[in-house]
Structures are given as structure tokens and as C-alpha cells.
Amino acid sequence: MGKLNIIDDLIAPADRIKIKYTGSEPVAIMSMAPDMIKAIMKIPGKDLLETDIRWDVTSDPNEFYGVWMGKRTEDNWSKTYLRVMVQGFQHSKEKSGWFVIEIKGTLETKYEFSNFIQRGFWWAYNLAFYYKQRRNYLEMGKDNIYDMRDFILNKFKINKAEE
């Protein structure tokens, strides 16, 4: 059985948004990120994956790192994946430091076929009908990424010019 797999970056031609913050309580982003992803993507907790969380409290400044991925099933063929990666330091006494956050997203569409006729059908169906629906999913995912960016900019009072 064959498969057609189409993967698009949500914010092409770039593949990610990067935000840098320097100030007080940068570690607060670690607790905000999972709830932000669930709220903005409108997904349940089971669709939020915590792929990597690290803390190093043995040194000063304390280092933290986290990666979360939200996945949303759009229909039978398409899924949206948003990945948020945070890395930073916070001084244990002054509670100041910095973090860098990267937000990346993809839309993945998979078709399965068992012969060349079905494969041709899927290409024709995609070009004639499903293309517009996939564009809507791409725009919705792109909006989710920019909503996450705006959420972080507002919470940490970061100027868009400093981004």
C-alpha cells in the first residue's frame, strides 16, 4: 500500500518565530507554555506532548529548557503540529535572566492508496477540491502561531520591535 505525504511549514518561507526576552522571572514561561498551547490551539491535554523538559539548579544562573508539541487533527487526512521550544537562564537570587523561545508549525496531510488509479485520484482530488481546505488549515495554524507570539509579547511586555 502506498502513501502520499504532504508537509507544509505554517509560516513559510520562514520556518519559525523566535522571541528573545531579558528581564525578571523568565522561568515563568515554563509553566505558561503548556496552557498557552492548549488554549490557543483549542486542544485537550491528551494532544499536548511534553517532549523534553530540563532544569539545572546546581549552578547559578539556573538553566531551563523545554519542548512542547500540540497536535490537532483537522480531518481524516490532515493534522496540524505546533512546537514550542524554550531555553533560558535565571539567577537564583535576583530572579532575573533571559529566555529564547521558538515557535514552529507544520501541516501534514497523508493519503493512502493501493494502486496507481487511486494515487491519481488523490492528486486530482487535492488539486480540484481539497487544496482550498488545506489553505484554510494553513491559515488557521499560522494564526495560532501569531496568537502565541502575541500572548508571549503581552505577558512579558516585550516590544514587537525588540523581537
Max distance between CA atoms of the chain, in angstroms, equals 67
**How much of the chain exceeds pLDDT 70, in percent?**
98
103 contacts 17 by C-beta, under 8 angstroms: yes
108 contacts 79 by C-beta, under 8 angstroms: yes
| pLDDT at residue 111, rounded to an integer | 85
For 134-143, the pLDDT digits (tens) are: 999 999 999 9
- pTM for the whole thing? 0.89
Residue 39 inside a domain? The answer is yes
CA angle at 44 for the pair 89 and 53, rounded to the nearest 5°: 25
**Bridge-partner residues for 108, per DSSP?**
7, 79
Residue 147 inside a domain? The answer is yes
Q: Which domain holds residue 59?
A: 2-155
| pLDDT at residue 161, rounded to an integer | 55
| pLDDT at residue 84, rounded to an integer | 98
- Report the number of distinct structural domains present in the chain: 1
Residue 160 inside a domain? The answer is no
- Residues contacting residue 78 through CB under 8 Å, at least 6 positions apart: 107, 108, 109, 133, 134, 137
For 84-136, the pLDDT digits (tens) are: 999 999 998 898 999 999 999 999 999 888 888 888 888 888 889 999 999 99
Residue 36 inside a domain? The answer is yes
Residue 161 inside a domain? The answer is no
Residue 145 inside a domain? The answer is yes
C-alpha cell at 33: 507554555
Mean pLDDT (whole number) for 27-38:
95
**How much of the chain exceeds pLDDT 90, in percent?**
72
Give burial (CB, 10 Å; 0-12/13-18/19+) of 80. Answer: buried
What's the mean per-residue pLDDT of the chain?
92
